[in-house]
A and B are shown apart, each in its own frame.
Chain A
Amino acid sequence: MIRFEDVHKAFGSNRVLRGLTLEVPKGTSMVIIGGSGTGKSVAIKSVLGLVTPDKGRILVDGKDTTSGDRDAFLARFGMLFQGGALFDSLPVWQNVAFRLLRGALKRPQAEAREIAIEKLRRVGLKPETADQFPAELSGGMQKRVGLARAIAADPEIIFFDEPTTGLDPIMAGVINELIREIVVEMGATAMTITHDMTSVRAIADNVAMLHDGVIKWTGPVAKLDNSGDPYLDQFIHGRAEGPIEAVR
């Protein structure tokens, strides 16, 4: 279970998170939606300690994320970065198997490679991709390699930052199904950021909408269409008019 308690974060005068409070139950899939630049990426990065909150705390299974052994903590997580963040000096398979090639989860090279190729297959990439370098791949392929890397070590908790952005509709469907599978079959806890409403409905157990640095609305995906919340309604229907000012 992940719990944000009154998390604040500012970059200079830019107050991004202003009291974020949210709970993600174990083994469920939470989707975060919200306008561009509202701090969705910052929120998930602060769980992993990549961004340090100015105020408030984040608990994972009841324990403060800043306490305890960091390596053991991070070993439970997988993360897909919004920009892929692939290591461009390593071939694709070594990117995917990065965790399996060194450190506590180290395995023989051949086994790590096999796992990498299997994960690549699950995100719809051919085994030939394994020996290419990230720079040789298209944007959507890079994203999927990032996704394969995030799930390579079968983490308990996975963050997906815009997993379907830049993918064609069919491939987006494949990825949505994959994320669903990971949650249902492997019992993982997932937090996904997306702008794609089809994806929201396919992936989410619960949805939370971030606006002005706080969670404006949260609830089960079934309530998405009759929430009665004007902010959420404007967002999911993509209207230019409404309480959220589109032109600032």
Chain B
Amino acid sequence: MTALLSPLAHLGRAVLAALTSIGRVMIYAVTALSHIFRPPYYPREVFNAFVQIGWLSLPVVGLTALFTGGALALQIYSGGARFNAEAVVPQIVAIGMVRELGPVMAGLMIAARVTSSIAAEIATMKVTEQIDALVTLSTHPMKYLTAPRLLAGLITVPILVGVGDVIGVAGGYFVATQSLGFNPAAYLKNTVDFLETLDVVSSLVKGCVFGGIATVMGCYYGMQSGRGAQGVGQATKSSVEAAAVLILAANFLITGAFFSV
């Protein structure tokens, strides 16, 4: 009997463990969010976070969007040719970039660039007792380290996504007008006419959620870090994995919420 039940017990334990850690992350995220609104505030930390997370991510997000938009135009053109629908390139590039690829690519690049660096930085601080030192200096690590980064993620990532959307559409535009023979004015008009407000809103909402996920995961795993260099490596790896998976899952849910009829 026990032999029969033991796989079940294993499964049960795994599910419980997963639920516990999800619960912990949720509590962590909500606490971090509440610290954004409660004093003391650390304007310098907030400024640094905006520069690090938003401004310095611009090149990598822009370049990814540019190439993705270009490739998307090529794919749709050659795919559309199979049923004589080459003309839909502007519309599909616009929808594909703004609704899906813009936010997802930006989110994943932010997970790679920002989540990893936050996790490594905070984990190193933990390992070298800097977090303990913060506490003894009457400074709440959540307020000083997490809240500014989360705020920056929530505000700058949607902006990055918006910029990425525009650059992605521009990438498609360049490819379509330079090598696929589209008329520039008609391409732009088609794009603008076709996009709806909801498309853009969903894109920005995704950006905001992804920014929150990316920064919270970095901080959470950094704070949970084990000891030594190995602990830092492990924390960094786990944070990026978790952020990437959660971003894709959230993307699916948000797309469902906005566009499933």
Contacts and interface: CB of A to CB of B under 8 A. Distances in A.
Interface stretch (B5-13, B135-143, B157-165): B135-143
B117 to A, nearest CB: 12
Contact of B128 (A50, A77, A83): A83
Interface in B183-225: none
A81 interface: yes
B138 A71 contact: yes
B81 interface: no
A121 interface: no
Contacts of B133: 79, 81, 85-87
Given A102-B40, A103-B40, A75 B138 contact: yes
A202 interface: no
Nearest to A48: B136
Contact of B135 (A48, A87, A102): A48
A88 B122 CA distance: 12
A86 B133 CA distance: 8
A83 B129 contact: yes
A45 B137 contact: no
B35 to A, nearest CB: 14
Contacts of B138: 71, 74-75, 99, 103-104
Contacts, number: 47
Contact of B129 (A85, A98, A149): A85
Given A85-B130, A86-B130, A79 B136 contact: yes
B137 A99 contact: yes
B47 interface: no
A78 B137 CA distance: 8
Contact of B136 (A77, A83, A87, A88): A77
Contact of A102 (B129, B132, B139): B139
A12 B123 CA distance: 21
B130 A50 contact: no
A79 B132 CA distance: 10
A84 B209 CA distance: 38
Sort chain A's interface into a size bin.
20 to 34
A45 B138 CA distance: 15
Contacts of A78: 136
Interface string A46-85: 0011100000000000000000000100110111011101
A75 B137 CA distance: 7
Interface in B93-135: 125, 128-130, 132-135
A76 B42 CA distance: 22
B132 A85 contact: yes
Contacts of A149: 137
Contact of A81 (B40, B125, B132): B132
A102 B42 contact: yes
A102 to B, nearest CB: 7
B218 to A, nearest CB: 16
B135 A74 contact: yes
A153 to B, nearest CB: 9
B139 A81 contact: no
Contact of A98 (B40, B128, B132, B137): B137
A8 B110 CA distance: 44
A45 B129 CA distance: 11
A168 to B, nearest CB: 24
Given A102-B40, A103-B40, A85 B128 contact: yes
Contacts of B136: 48, 50, 74, 77-79
A98 B135 CA distance: 12
Given A74-B136, A77-B136, A78-B136, 6 more contacts: A49-B135, A71-B138, A75-B138, A81-B132, A86-B133, A88-B130
Interface of B: 40, 42, 125, 128-130, 132-139
In the A-B complex, list the 8 residue pairs whose CB atoms are closest, starting with the nearest. A85-B129, A85-B133, A79-B136, A74-B138, A50-B132, A81-B129, A71-B138, A98-B137
